[in-house]
Amino acid sequence: MNIFLRELKTNAKSLIIWCLGMIFLIYAGMVKYSAFSKTGDAVNEFMSQIPDSMKTVLGIGNGTDVTSVAVFYSMFFLFFMLLAAVHSCMLGALIISKEERDKTADFLFVKPIRRSRAISSKILAAIINIAVLNAVTYAVSVISVEKHNTGSSLAVPVLMITSALFVLQVLFLGVGLLFGALAKNSKVATSAATSIILGTFILKVIIDMNNDVKAIEFLSPFRYFKADEVMFDRSIDIGYVLVSAAVVLLCAAGTYIFFQKRDLRN
C-alpha cells in the first residue's frame, strides 16, 4: 500500500499536465468544429448530389451527415491514441526503471518486501493513472460533444471509443513495463518506447494506404480499432481485444520475471 500511494503521489503532477493537454486538445478541436460546421453546409449540399454508388467507393455511409459533430469527433481517436500511447508507454517504462535512475533502488529494494510486490504496487498505480486520463478524456469529450450535438445522445458512442482507447493504453503500458524491466537504464527504456511508438505509427500509415499488407495489421495497435466502426456500429473488434490482452499478459509476466532476476545498479 505504501509504494502504491507513493507512486500515485509522485505521478500526480505529470498526470495533471497530461490531462490538461488532453482537455486542451478536445477543446481546441471543438472550437474548430464550430467554425467547420458553418462552411460544412456547402459540403452537405454537395454530398447530396453524389450518387450512392460513389459514396460507397469513398467509404461514406449513406445518409451520414459529414458535418455532424459525431463524424468530426471520430477523427479525434487518432490523436487520443497518439497521446495515450506516449503517456502509457513512457509511464510503464519509467515507473520500473526510475528507482535505479534516481539511485533510490538501494533504498526501496533493501526493504523487507519481495520485488514482485513492489512491481505489483507500481503496476496498480500506473493503471490508476491511465484510467484517470481515460476518464478525463471521456468526461470532457461527452460534455463538449453534446454541446454541439443535434441528434441523439452520443454518450454511449463516446464511451465505446474511450473503452477502445483504454485497451490500447493498457497495451502500451504493458510494453513500457517490459522495456523498463529489460533495459539497462531508463534512458534505453524510454528510447525503446519511442521507437515502438514511432514504428507502429508509421506502420499504421503504411497499412492505411496499402491494403495489400493488411496481413501485418496486428503489428500496429493504432490499426486495431477503427473510430467509425467503434462509434457508429458500436462494435469493438474482440479479436484485437484478445490480442491486446495476450500481449499485455506476456509483457506483465516478462516484467515480473526479468525484474526479479535483475542486478540493481546503484
For residues 189 and 186, give the distance between their C-alpha atoms in angstroms, rounded to a whole number.
Answer: 5
Instruction: Indicate whether 57 belongs to the interface with other proteins (CB under 8 A).
Output: yes
Instruction: Indicate whether 21 belongs to the interface with other proteins (CB under 8 A).
Output: yes
Given the complex with other proteins, which of 52 and 156 has the nearer CB atom?
52
Which residues 89-148 are close enough to bind other proteins by CB under 8 A?
Answer: 90, 94, 98, 101-107, 109-114, 117
The DSSP secondary structure of 27-63, one letter per residue, reads: HHHHHHHHHHHHHHHHHHHHHHHS-HHHHHHHTPPTT
Binding footprint of other proteins, residue count (CB under 8 A): 66
Instruction: Indicate whether 82 belongs to the interface with other proteins (CB under 8 A).
Output: yes
Given the complex with other proteins, which of 41 and 233 has the nearer CB atom?
41
Q: State the nearest-atom distance from the C-beta of 21 to other proteins, in Å.
A: 7
Which residues 27-46 are close enough to bind other proteins by CB under 8 A?
Answer: 28-29, 32, 35-36, 39-40, 42-43, 46
Instruction: Indicate whether 6 belongs to the interface with other proteins (CB under 8 A).
Output: yes
Q: State the nearest-atom distance from the C-beta of 123 to other proteins, in Å.
A: 18
Decide: residue 9, CB within 10 A, 0-12 exposed, 13-18 middle, 19+ buried.
exposed
Instruction: Indicate whether 79 belongs to the interface with other proteins (CB under 8 A).
Output: yes
| Cβ-proximal residues to 59 (8 Å cutoff; 6+ apart), any chain | none
Instruction: Indicate whether 70 belongs to the interface with other proteins (CB under 8 A).
Output: no
Instruction: Indicate whether 58 belongs to the interface with other proteins (CB under 8 A).
Output: yes
For residues 51 and 242, give the distance between their C-alpha atoms in angstroms, rounded to a whole number.
Answer: 39
Given the complex with other proteins, which of 106 and 233 has the nearer CB atom?
106
Which residues 231-260 are close enough to bind other proteins by CB under 8 A?
Answer: none
Instruction: Indicate whether 61 belongs to the interface with other proteins (CB under 8 A).
Output: no
Q: Cell digits for 16?
A: 495533471
Instruction: Indicate whether 10 belongs to the interface with other proteins (CB under 8 A).
Output: yes
Given the complex with other proteins, which of 39 and 152 has the nearer CB atom?
39
The DSSP secondary structure of 61-79, one letter per residue, reads: PTT--TTSHHHHHHTHHHH
Instruction: Indicate whether 197 belongs to the interface with other proteins (CB under 8 A).
Output: yes
Interface residues with other proteins (CB under 8 A) are: 2, 6, 10, 18, 21, 25, 28-29, 32, 35-36, 39-40, 42-43, 46-47, 54, 57-58, 60, 66, 75, 78-79, 82-83, 86-87, 90, 94, 98, 101-107, 109-114, 117, 186-187, 190-191, 193-195, 197-199, 202, 205-206, 209-210, 212, 261, 263-264, 266
